């Protein structure tokens, strides 16, 4: 998931401090762009879908000139923070040109990559124009587990080599993993690799169906209990969840809006085909930037979002654990084909977090 909940309380305080201007004026201060859904790996859990199908749509991807135009528009609209992701963003032949343009515009840039395409040219580019942060996903601590997930022979060594090169060149790197049945027994080894490299680490366990409707990734989930136990072993994360809950608990049941996060209010996502969305996961709200300006699209998506209301009896609005579950209508829709039907998986995670934080 691109939605990073690692520093929930810190993020909440930060956005509250910007509330008067950014929230009231609805400035799109932060955004993400999928440069492509194509990838050199074939990960069994990938939400983008099957690569053989994705390749067929390559000619619909935003071209270099249009990408630069969009970057101009989001900068003019007030964007400061930009996440470049995919697919594997480095697979685009024009990555260097696009990245240089993003940096020229002064955007604070984070890159999500699988780490297997960190060539001499990429290292040279990043050394000349360092990203604010680079995140590399490490799916396993061993070749066997990693490549069972990625489906590509030799990819583990390529990833480790990429990590080593980024660390050697002093880049601000963080490792992450997707916790699933296949790699759960290597979780602490993966975390140790991050520690040994002296870089940060985070993980996510909330796998969801592919965007094409295939539900296979759900079968790879660990149980909610396993996910929360792994999470709360980290005492720092434990205190952050407690802090976040204390800050946000009074915000339960104060709105009739379905979407209560910053998506579409201060943040946005643009897919490889030029579709503007509130966030990467939202399927039902979209505006094509091939036919509209960014500002027109930005205004259109909030109109659509504000039409999505909930009643006073809406289950999640009455739940004191809704600040601990990862409440996300977009996730609900992917899992249950309805933004209004909450995820049992997230519900159970919220219940377990609450018990472990406050009842144990």
- pLDDT, position 67: 98
Domains and CATH numbers, the chain: 25-222+259-308 (3.20.20.70)
Looking at residue 9, its pLDDT comes to 58
CB–CB of 282/43 below 8 Å?
no
Mind listing the pLDDT tens digit of every residue in the chain (360 residues)?
456 544 555 665 665 666 667 877 899 999 999 999 999 999 999 999 999 999 999 999 999 999 999 999 999 999 999 999 999 999 999 999 999 999 999 999 999 999 999 999 999 999 999 999 999 999 999 999 999 999 999 999 999 999 999 999 999 999 999 999 999 999 999 999 999 999 999 999 999 999 999 999 999 999 999 999 999 998 888 888 888 888 877 766 678 899 988 899 999 999 999 999 999 999 999 999 999 999 999 999 999 999 999 988 888 888 888 889 999 999 999 999 999 999 999 999 999 999 998 887
Q: What is residue 168's predicted lDDT score, i.e. its pLDDT?
A: 98
- CA–CA separation, 182 and 176 (whole Å): 16
As a whole number of Å, the end-to-end CA separation of the chain is 29
Q: What is the per-residue pLDDT for 101? A: 99
pLDDT of 327: 92
């Amino acid at each position: 998931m691109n939605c990073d909940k690692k520093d929930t309380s810190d993020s909440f305080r930060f956005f509250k401090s910007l509330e008067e201007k950014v929230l009231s004026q609805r400035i799109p201060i932060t955004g993400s762009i999928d440069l492509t859904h194509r990838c050199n790996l074939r990960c069994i859990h990938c939400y983008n879908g099957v690569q053989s199908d994705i390749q067929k749509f390559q000619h619909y991807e935003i071209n270099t000139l249009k990408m630069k135009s969009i970057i101009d528009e989001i900068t003019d609209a007030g964007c400061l923070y930009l996440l470049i992701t995919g697919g594997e963003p480095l697979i685009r032949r024009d990555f260097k040109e696009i990245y240089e343009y993003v940096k020229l515009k002064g955007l604070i840039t984070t890159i999500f990559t699988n780490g297997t395409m960190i060539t001499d040219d990429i290292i040279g580019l990043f050394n000349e124009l360092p990203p604010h942060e680079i995140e590399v996903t490490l799916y396993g601590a061993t070749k066997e587990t990693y490549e069972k997930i990625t489906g590509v022979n030799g990819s583990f060594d390529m990833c480790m080599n990429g990590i080593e090169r980024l660390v050697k060149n002093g880049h601000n790197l963080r490792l992450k993993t997707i916790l699933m049945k296949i790699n759960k027994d290597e979780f602490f080894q993966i975390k140790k690799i991050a520690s040994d490299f002296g870089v940060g680490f985070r993980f996510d366990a909330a796998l969801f169906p592919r965007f094409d409707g295939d539900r296979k990734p759900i079968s790879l989930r660990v149980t909610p209990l396993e996910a929360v136990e792994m999470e709360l072993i980290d005492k720092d994360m434990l205190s952050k969840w407690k802090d976040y809950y204390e800050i946000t608990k009074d915000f339960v049941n104060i709105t009739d809006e379905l979407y209560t996060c910053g998506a579409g209010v201060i943040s946005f996502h643009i897919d490889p085909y030029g579709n503007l969305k509130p966030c990467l996961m939202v399927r039902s709200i979209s505006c094509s930037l091939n036919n509209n300006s960014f500002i027109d699209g930005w205004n259109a998506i909030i109109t659509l979002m504000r039409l999505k209301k909930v009643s006073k009896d809406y289950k999640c609005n009455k739940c004191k654990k809704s600040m601990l579950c990862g409440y996300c209508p977009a996730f609900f829709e992917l899992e249950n084909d309805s933004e209004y039907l909450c995820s049992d998986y997230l519900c159970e995670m919220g219940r377990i977090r609450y018990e472990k934080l406050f009842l144990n």
